[in-house]
């Protein structure tokens, strides 16, 4: 696979070889094909630099443009949303490939990118370990671990306490799965949770949640700092140390100093923030190790025993196994109230996600780091709960005298644990410092508390300004644009730091705290998981504080309605836009106001099927692509002019067939004496607003060698016209053919001329007397009903699909008995033997039936081969991906074939293509890079090609017909296009080598350059690519991106 010849451009010019050359090692997106003749020697002065049409446009030979290619292979740079290199790299436009235009593209840079390029300094990017995992650990292992876990076990017992921990982690896991699905749906920029929500659910939800999130985290900074100050105050009191008054003023002074220190740390840079948090994490881990060692060693003195720490024993574990809910601080507790107290301990799961702009690869780091942090903390919380319940009593007086008096007696702990008529300060129920008591060295537990509070405060002060910065850049709300500017190489939101500092400072001045409170490529995601997570989170909000939850809902809804009312001019490809598309029939005007986005691109297909019943394979194939996804329109071009009665009957016939086969599609009819003009009219009239076809799907013309030359030119002209209208073009070929008119049964045939005659008679009667219209025999109100609401018992029409050649067109009337029979026997899966029968109702042979139902049957395990030779915007890749998601191709895997840029870059090309597919979140089984596409074709292949064009050869350049379009292949044309012809012959050899046994083949459709390629030569190229192959689709996008790896 990785062998072949590839020479430099200069050698090509000197030797006249027909090989693909890479002219610029720094811009491998452009190719040059050497001349087919030996005229290089005549122009020795012409060098590579003279061939260049611009640094960004690649290199072309101006003397023989017809035999050169401007096609480029797929490159990640073509799908970039932001310009990150100079000069930018563009794929050729459709005009360049079709019209031979040489338009010099000017790079478009965004202001913030220019500023970013000019900023100096070291750019810091973190991996999943230090960027997400470590930060989530620091936030989940919070103060609740040291101050409230023992209380939870005392109230709920070991059993229900474990249930509280499990339920809380279920909520966070479900939320994290949804968040992982969102962050793996493309590249994530700075802004964390706000960016992910706004780009997924739209600016209304994102703006409301982002602003609330910023405010909540700003206040949380003060809560964590006050928590740190209170812990420090307790420690100082144990040593009889008082700073000012031992109360609120101490908290204010220490809190302000701590807040200033954290602000300075944030301004210094994320590198130092990370180092500081690593130190705090080490302290946090050592404090937990200290606790575990303490539980193993047991009590060190009688004093510790009298305070309830008795060490591991069976009796203590049994006593603490079940719940013992009691009143605490004036509140009667139960399972849900205890859950409400504990739940904030596990809500630090977005600490890593909020730093998405500082991560090397957010799409992989956020899911891995967050889920792993949840797993580690879950295990630790459960384990520590069992430890506390196994070595600590629920209540104890702390009176050492009482313990000594009953030591070694039968009464044992009954005296100092009896708190019936007195208040006890110790035990799981009463002592928030129980973990410090149990630990091996108590002060280290205080260090853990300090580390937990300070790390959470740092994470909130660093994360909230980044969310505010992203919100300000999007300009959803007035008066916050000031905070959009960043400073330094890492674009640090210093202004946001100061704002959060001010808010936190105001809260710290209060000097005290209240009770703590508080979205594919992710394969474990499911829409129901997100719904369950949403309901669980709402339930938890109301369990914690119903009135706070109500206020939150009112504020969020108000913010949502404000952004919805403003209708900000943003284009993020949100699911709100996608939902607008799904509801387009009910909200067409709304959809027209939505700006198009590459994330919401979907192939909207106009199928040149004729009557659906004549080409069922073509309709079922297009339905595979559009079902539940996008627009499908069946187009029928009729030669001649007919009455409206005929059009109505055709539509009723088509809609009846579509309903029977459960294909959601529209049907359009166009009439003209010229078939091409009729198709052009179809393209123009099909669709409405944004619901317009962007792709034309045709069947392959199998009889192109024997048909009338006028038909061949018409087929060729349709392809040209579609490309002129910026439509993608798809040509489907099945070796057995697509036209089943005359093979599949249509009953009770009546000529169309009958309806035309009947319509003419009716017009005459109308002229005679308008009052006689209701008495005219044979006129039914059904026939005047618009075709948008067809009924099963109306007259239906089936026509010869080759309407362009003036074939006979007929009307069929389905019998009611047949309709009832089909309706009765049709279940969830239609029986093809009932849907398809031969003339007179005779059953079709098994082979014919299998061919007709090719795209309705489950395919065997195999491959869908994608020959993504040229970058057309990604449609050549998108369609096979859509097919692979359908049930009939669920056993088939994608294999991607592409061309090498040069002989020496095979490995790099393969890695780059694999990386691009990974960014697109497209699964594949193999990537194959073809290096020898320019090698001479074999003699056998050449003879096969010569046989195809034998009947179209002419030695004169003046042989043409039909408006100047050649229907013969001249010697001049063959010489000028020799290299391209050789390329297609080589592709045939490669296709036979790699894809002849595949289930389906998708290949880039060659673009016929105007005035260069004749219809028969072009069809010969297509014949080479598809003859004797599995079902094949030749497809070409309009050179506009339909894929993106941005979120």
Supply the pTM of this predicted model. Answer: 0.59
Burial 827-847 (b: 16+ CB within 10 A, else e): eeebebeebbbeeeeeebeee
Task: Answer whether 91's CB lies under 8 Å from 56's CB.
Answer: no
The per-residue pLDDT for 528 is 60
Query: What is the band of 505 on the pLDDT scale with cuts at 50, 70, 90?
Result: confident
C-alpha to C-alpha distance for 1031 and 862, rounded to whole angstroms: 13
Token duo for residue 463: 């994360």
Instruction: Flag whether pLDDT at 1 surpasses 70.
Output: no
What 8-state DSSP symbol labels residue 132? I
Name the one residue in this structure whose structure tokens are 């292992």.
141
Instruction: Flag whether pLDDT at 594 surpasses 50.
Output: yes
C-alpha to C-alpha distance for 707 and 166, rounded to whole angstroms: 73
Rounded to an integer, the average pLDDT of 992-1013 is 92
Rounded to an integer, the average pLDDT of 59-83 is 53
Report helix, strand or coil for 985.
helix
Task: Answer whether 547's CB lies under 8 Å from 288's CB.
Answer: no
First and final CA of the chain: distance in angstroms? 35
Mean confidence (pLDDT) of the chain: 75
The per-residue pLDDT for 565 is 63
Summarize pLDDT for 554-574 with one digit per residue, the tens: 877 777 777 666 655 555 555
Question: Which of 352-356, 367-371, 759-763 has the lowest average pLDDT?
Answer: 759-763
Report helix, strand or coil for 956.
coil
Rounded to an integer, the average pLDDT of 982-997 is 93
Instruction: Flag whether pLDDT at 249 surpasses 70.
Output: yes
Is residue 223 exposed (0-12), middle (13-18) or buried (19+ Cβ within 10 Å)? buried
The per-residue pLDDT for 986 is 92
The per-residue pLDDT for 727 is 93
The per-residue pLDDT for 219 is 80
The per-residue pLDDT for 701 is 93
The per-residue pLDDT for 833 is 67
Instruction: Flag whether pLDDT at 271 surpasses 50.
Output: yes
Rounded to an integer, the average pLDDT of 36-57 is 33
Instruction: Flag whether pLDDT at 959 surpasses 90.
Output: no
Instruction: Flag whether pLDDT at 978 surpasses 50.
Output: yes
Instruction: Flag whether pLDDT at 376 surpasses 70.
Output: yes
Summarize pLDDT for 200-211 with one digit per residue, the tens: 777 777 777 788
Rounded to an integer, the average pLDDT of 426-441 is 87
Query: What is the band of 478 on the pLDDT scale with cuts at 50, 70, 90?
Result: confident
Task: Answer whether 497's CB lies under 8 Å from 467's CB.
Answer: no
Summarize pLDDT for 806-841 with one digit per residue, the tens: 333 444 444 444 444 444 444 434 576 677 887 777
Rounded to an integer, the average pLDDT of 84-111 is 57
Token duo for residue 222: 């003060």
Report helix, strand or coil for 796.
strand
Question: DSSP per residue over 206-268, as a string?
Answer: HHHHHHHHHHHHHHHHHHHHHHHHHHHHHHHHHTT--SSSSSHHHHHHHHHHHHHHHHHHHHH
What 8-state DSSP symbol labels residue 842? P
The per-residue pLDDT for 1011 is 83
Summarize pLDDT for 144-159 with one digit per residue, the tens: 788 788 999 999 999 9
Instruction: Flag whether pLDDT at 987 surpasses 80.
Output: yes
Task: Answer whether 645's CB lies under 8 Å from 759's CB.
Answer: yes
Select, from the ranges 89-93, 296-300, 973-977, 1020-1024, the one with the highest average predicted confidence (pLDDT). 1020-1024
Instruction: Flag whether pLDDT at 52 surpasses 80.
Output: no
Long-range contacts, 314-319 (Cβ 8 Å, 24+)? 316/389, 316/390, 316/391, 316/392, 316/393, 317/158, 317/389, 317/390, 319/393, 319/394
Summarize pLDDT for 154-190 with one digit per residue, the tens: 999 999 999 999 999 998 898 888 888 877 777 777 7
C-alpha to C-alpha distance for 218 and 945, rounded to whole angstroms: 73
pLDDT > 90: percent of the chain: 22
What counts of helices (H) and strands (E) characterise the chain? 38, 19
Question: DSSP per residue over 528-562, as a string?
Answer: HHHHHHHHHHHHHHHHH-HHHHHHHHHHHHHHHHH
Question: Which of 124-128, 135-139, 286-290 has the lowest average pLDDT?
Answer: 124-128
The per-residue pLDDT for 161 is 93
Q: Which of 742, 737, 842 is nearest to 799 (CA)?
A: 742
Question: Which of 241-250, 277-286, 385-394, 491-500 has the lowest average pLDDT?
Answer: 241-250
Select, from the ranges 34-43, 683-692, 753-762, 823-832, the one with the highest average predicted confidence (pLDDT). 683-692
Rounded to an integer, the average pLDDT of 523-539 is 66
Instruction: Flag whether pLDDT at 1042 surpasses 80.
Output: yes
Task: Answer whether 519's CB lies under 8 Å from 185's CB.
Answer: no
The per-residue pLDDT for 163 is 94
Rounded to an integer, the average pLDDT of 20-46 is 32
Select, from the ranges 209-223, 667-681, 893-907, the one with the highest average predicted confidence (pLDDT). 667-681
Rounded to an integer, the average pLDDT of 762-783 is 46
Query: What is the band of 690 on the pLDDT scale with cuts at 50, 70, 90?
Result: confident
Q: Which of 327, 322, 290, 296 is nearest to 309 (CA)?
A: 296
The per-residue pLDDT for 35 is 30
Crossing angle of helices 442-474 and 270-297, rounded to 10°: 150
Burial 406-445 (b: 16+ CB within 10 A, else e): eeeeeeebebbbebeeeebebbbbbbebbbbbbbbebebb
The per-residue pLDDT for 102 is 46
Rounded to an integer, the average pLDDT of 321-325 is 90
Task: Answer whether 703's CB lies under 8 Å from 762's CB.
Answer: no
Instruction: Flag whether pLDDT at 306 surpasses 80.
Output: yes
Summarize pLDDT for 189-202 with one digit per residue, the tens: 777 777 777 777 77
Instruction: Flag whether pLDDT at 116 surpasses 60.
Output: no
pLDDT > 70: percent of the chain: 74
Instruction: Flag whether pLDDT at 756 surpasses 90.
Output: no
Task: Answer whether 250's CB lies under 8 Å from 243's CB.
Answer: yes
């Amino acid at each position: 696979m990785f062998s072949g010849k590839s020479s430099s451009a200069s050698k090509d010019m000197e030797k006249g070889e027909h090989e693909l050359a890479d002219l610029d090692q720094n811009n491998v997106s452009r190719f040059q094909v050497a001349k087919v003749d030996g005229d290089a020697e005549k122009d020795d002065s012409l060098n590579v630099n003279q061939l260049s049409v611009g640094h960004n446009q690649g290199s072309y030979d101006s003397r023989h443009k017809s035999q050169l290619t401007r096609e480029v292979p797929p490159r990640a740079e073509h799908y970039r949303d932001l310009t990150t290199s100079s000069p930018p790299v563009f794929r050729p436009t459709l005009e360049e490939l079709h019209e031979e235009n040489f338009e010099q593209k000017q790079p478009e840079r965004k202001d913030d990118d220019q500023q970013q390029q000019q900023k100096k300094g070291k750019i810091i990017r973190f991996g999943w370990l230090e960027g997400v995992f470590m930060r989530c650990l620091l936030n989940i292992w919070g103060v609740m671990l040291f101050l409230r876990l023992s209380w939870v076990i005392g109230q709920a017992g070991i059993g229900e306490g474990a249930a509280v921990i499990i339920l809380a982690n279920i909520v966070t896991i479900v939320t994290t799965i949804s968040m992982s699905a969102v962050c793996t749906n493309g590249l994530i920029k700075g802004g964390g949770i706000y960016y992910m929500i706004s780009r997924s659910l739209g600016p209304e939800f994102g703006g409301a949640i982002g602003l609330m999130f910023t405010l909540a985290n700003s206040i949380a900074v003060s809560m964590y700092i006050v928590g740190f100050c209170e812990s420090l105050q307790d420690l100082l009191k144990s040593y009889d140390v008082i700073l000012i008054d031992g109360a609120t003023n101490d908290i204010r002074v220490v809190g302000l100093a701590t807040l200033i220190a954290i602000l300075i740390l944030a301004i210094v840079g994320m590198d130092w923030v990370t180092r500081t948090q690593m130190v705090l994490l080490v302290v946090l881990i050592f404090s937990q190790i200290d606790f575990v060692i303490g539980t193993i060693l047991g009590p060190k003195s009688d004093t510790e025993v009298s305070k309830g720490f008795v060490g591991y024993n069976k009796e203590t574990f049994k006593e603490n196994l079940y719940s013992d809910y009691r009143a605490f601080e004036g509140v009667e507790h139960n399972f849900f109230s205890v859950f409400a107290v504990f739940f904030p301990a596990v809500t630090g799961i977005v600490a890593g996600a909020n730093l998405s702009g500082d991560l090397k690869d957010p799409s992989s780091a956020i899911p891995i780091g967050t889920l792993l942090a949840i797993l580690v903390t879950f295990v630790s919380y459960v384990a520590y709960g069992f430890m506390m319940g196994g070595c600590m009593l629920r209540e104890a007086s702390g009176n050492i005298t009482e313990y000594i008096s009953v030591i070694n007696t039968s009464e044992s702990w009954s005296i100092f644990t009896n708190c019936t008529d007195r208040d006890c300060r110790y035990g799981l129920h009463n002592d928030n410092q129980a973990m410090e008591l149990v630990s091996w060295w108590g002060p280290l537990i205080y260090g853990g508390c300090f580390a937990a509070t300070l790390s959470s405060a740092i994470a909130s002060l660093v994360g909230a300004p980044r969310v505010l910065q992203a919100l300000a850049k999007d300009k959803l709300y007035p008066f916050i644009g000031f905070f959009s500017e960043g400073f330094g190489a890492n674009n640090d939101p210093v202004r946001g730091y100061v704002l959060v500092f001010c808010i936190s400072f105001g809260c710290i001045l209060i000097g005290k705290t209240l009770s703590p409170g508080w979205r594919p490529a992710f394969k474990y995601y499911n829409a129901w998981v997100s719904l369950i997570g949403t309901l669980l989170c709402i339930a938890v909000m109301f369990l914690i504080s119903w009135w706070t939850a109500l206020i939150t809902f009112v504020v969020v809804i108000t913010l949502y309605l404000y952004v919805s009312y403003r209708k900000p001019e943003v284009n993020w490809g949100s699911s709100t836009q996608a939902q607008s598309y799904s509801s387009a029939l009910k909200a067409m005007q709304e959809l027209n106001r939505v700006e198009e986005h590459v994330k919401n691109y979907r192939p909207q297909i106009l199928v040149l099927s004729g009557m659906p019943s004549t080409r069922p394979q073509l309709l079922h194939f297009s339905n595979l692509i559009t079902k539940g996804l996008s627009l499908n329109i069946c187009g029928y071009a009729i030669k001649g002019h007919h009455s409206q009665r005929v059009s109505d009957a055709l539509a009723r016939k088509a809609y009846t067939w579509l309903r029977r086969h459960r294909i959601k599609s529209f049907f359009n009819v166009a009439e003209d004496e010229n078939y091409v003009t009729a198709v052009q009219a179809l393209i123009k009239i099909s669709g409405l607003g944004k619901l317009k076809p962007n792709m034309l799907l045709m069947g392959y013309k199998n009889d192109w060698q024997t048909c009338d030359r006028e038909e061949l030119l018409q087929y060729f002209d349709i392809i040209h016209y579609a490309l002129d209208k910026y439509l993608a073009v798809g040509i489907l070929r099945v070796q057995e053919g697509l036209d089943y008119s005359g093979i599949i049964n249509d009953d009770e045939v009546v000529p169309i001329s009958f309806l035309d005659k009947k319509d003419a008679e009716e017009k005459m009667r109308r002229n005679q007397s308008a009052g006689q219209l209701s008495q005219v025999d044979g006129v039914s109100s059904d026939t005047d009903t618009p075709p948008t609401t067809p009924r099963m018992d109306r007259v239906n029409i089936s026509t010869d699909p080759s309407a362009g050649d003036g074939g006979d067109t007929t009307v069929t009337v389905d019998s009611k008995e047949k309709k009832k029979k089909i309706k009765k026997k049709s279940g969830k899966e239609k029986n093809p033997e009932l849907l398809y029968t031969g003339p007179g109702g005779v059953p079709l042979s098994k082979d014919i039936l299998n061919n007709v139902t090719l795209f309705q049957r489950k395919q065997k395990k195999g491959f869908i081969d994608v020959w993504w030779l040229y970058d057309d915007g990604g449609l050549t890749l998108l369609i096979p991906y859509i097919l692979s998601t359908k049930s009939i191709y669920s056993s088939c895997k994608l294999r991607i074939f592409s061309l090498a840029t040069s002989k020496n870059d095979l490995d790099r090309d393969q890695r780059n293509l694999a990386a691009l597919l990974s960014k697109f979140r497209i699964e594949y089984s193999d990537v194959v890079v073809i290096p020898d596409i320019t090698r001479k074709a074999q003699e056998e292949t050449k003879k096969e090609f010569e046989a195809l064009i034998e009947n179209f050869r002419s030695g004169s350049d003046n042989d043409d017909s039909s408006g100047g379009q050649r229907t013969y292949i001249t010697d001049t044309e063959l010489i000028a296009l020799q290299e391209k012809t050789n390329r297609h012959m080589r592709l045939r050899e490669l296709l036979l080598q790699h894809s002849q046994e595949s289930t389906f083949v998708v290949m880039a459709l060659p673009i016929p350059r105007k005035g260069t390629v004749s219809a028969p030569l072009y069809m010969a190229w297509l014949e080479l690519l598809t003859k004797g192959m599995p079902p094949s689709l030749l497809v070409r996008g309009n050179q506009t991106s339909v894929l993106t790896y941005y979120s």
